[in-house]
Amino acid sequence: MFDTVAANIALVLLFILIGGFFAAAEIAMVSLRESQVRKLSQRGRRGERVAKLARDPNRFLSAVQIGVTVATMLSAAFGADRLAAQLVPVLEGWGVPVAVAPVLALVLVTLAISYVSLVLGELAPKRLALQRAEGLSLYVAPFLDRIAALSRPIIWMLSKSTDGVVKLLGGNPGADREEVTTEELRDMVVGHTDLTADERKLIAEVFAAGKRQLREVMLPRTEVEFMEADTPLSDAARLAATLPHSRFPVYRDTYDEVIGFVHVRDLLDPELTGRTEPISALVPIRAAKFVPASKRLLTTLNEMRDEGQHLAIVVDEYGGTAGIVTMEDLVEELIGDIRDEYDVEEDVVILPAGEIEIDGLTNLNDFATETGIRLPDGPYETLAGFVMAMLGHVPAAGERVEFSGFELTVTELDGRRIARVRVKRRQVVESPPEQDS
């Protein structure tokens, strides 16, 4: 009898493990990301089969469900029929009444099979499949494909029935799984333990830069050092020697008619020292890249890299010159400031008492990073633009605005432009409690 019981238990365990195989196969296929599917499709015939199945969920889900259902049904029926009957005499020997023993045996066997099925047939296989989805899918896909081929009539009927129910419930039977959103990707990056803090920060900057437009990061035309095409070479070389820039936009008549740019190396060529002819006649005017102010930062960076351009002229919606961007400006938006020996002035200066003095041309995102204060969006891109919008006029030095518990004071002007702003937390003076008369 012991051999018979052991054989029956072994058969039940076999059916449970078969169900566990199908459960693991389902999770392995379902949890494959699109990037993994594309990679697997390039790994020979097995990989192609995985990709084919993954893109036809009705086919493999139906095959899996057939396998799980058959295995579960066999383990339950076999256990109830054989094991419960063999447990009845044991219970009767322990003093359980004859009328109660069959029912109790059935309940105990059902509970035992259910527990083992949950652990060995569901939870453990699915957890392992989640951890090794890519590798496991390569092994299970051929078997699932054969099961699906053999069960094609049943799968066809199940698929049509499923499509009908999905449509009845308001779903789209032909729709694929939902795409991962940008927010979900960002959350995945933040929670990824294999990435260092610097790597997570860099990826977060890439996500942020993907939404940013050139108007938010460009150097405005009022701050650009232009050179007129008719400028004598000696004057242009003298100016270039005093500035930290390597490239200068060249224009005719007005700043809106930029014809290209000159490189400082051409201006300081020893063979041309002292020449007074116009720069347009002596040095090469290199073709400039023109980009709209609404163009995305990352797109522009990729184009400039592919074209070997280090400077681009930003054009507004009216065709005029709005400013310039350089390769360095765009890279700095991803990895932070790149300072060299010519960058002598700090954009942000920490003052006593926790005050901060910051450049008025700081864009809103950089201002939030430096101070922790997020200014509202509006018809402006910089801190200076926000202050002007709040005041409603061109300010004088010393004028201030208040926002969200902070005081922003104009400390320096460059013509009519706000050059520097001091930021400090506003002091809240509490009135003394009133004395009882």
Domains of the chain, with CATH numbers? Answer: 2-168 (no CATH), 181-209 (no CATH), 212-335 (3.10.580.10), 348-425 (3.30.465.10)
- The pLDDT of residue 163: 79
Distance between CA 228 and CA 354 in Å, rounded? Answer: 44
Residue 176's contacts (CB-CB under 8 Å, 6 or more residues apart) are: none
pLDDT tens digits, 326-373: 998 888 888 777 766 665 555 677 777 778 889 888 888 888 888 888
Distance between CA 425 and CA 202 in Å, rounded? Answer: 30
More confident residue, 268 or 81: 268
Whole-model pTM over 0.85: no
- The pLDDT of residue 249: 95
More confident residue, 65 or 316: 316
Burial 79-102 (b: 16+ CB within 10 A, else e): beebbbebbbeebeeeebeeeebb
Which of 395, 266, 249 has the alpha carbon at shortest distance from 325?
Answer: 249
- The pLDDT of residue 248: 95
- The pLDDT of residue 342: 61
Mean pLDDT throughout 102-114? 82
Instruction: Enter the DSSP assignment of 80.
Output: I
Residue 179's pLDDT band (cuts 50, 70, 90):
low
As to burial, measured by CB atoms within 10 angstroms (0-12 exposed, 13-18 middle, 19+ buried), residue 408 is buried
pLDDT at 180 over 70: no
User: What's the whole-number average pLDDT of the chain?
Assistant: 82
Farthest-apart Cα atoms in the chain, separation? 120
Which of 273, 222, 252, 150 has the alpha carbon at shortest distance from 385?
Answer: 222
Distance between CA 129 and CA 409 in Å, rounded? Answer: 60
Residue 143's pLDDT band (cuts 50, 70, 90):
confident
Lowest mean pLDDT among 37-41, 215-219, 420-424: 37-41
Distance between CA 40 and CA 153 in Å, rounded? Answer: 29
Bridge-based pairing state of the strands 356-359 and 219-220 = unpaired
pLDDT at 380 over 80: yes
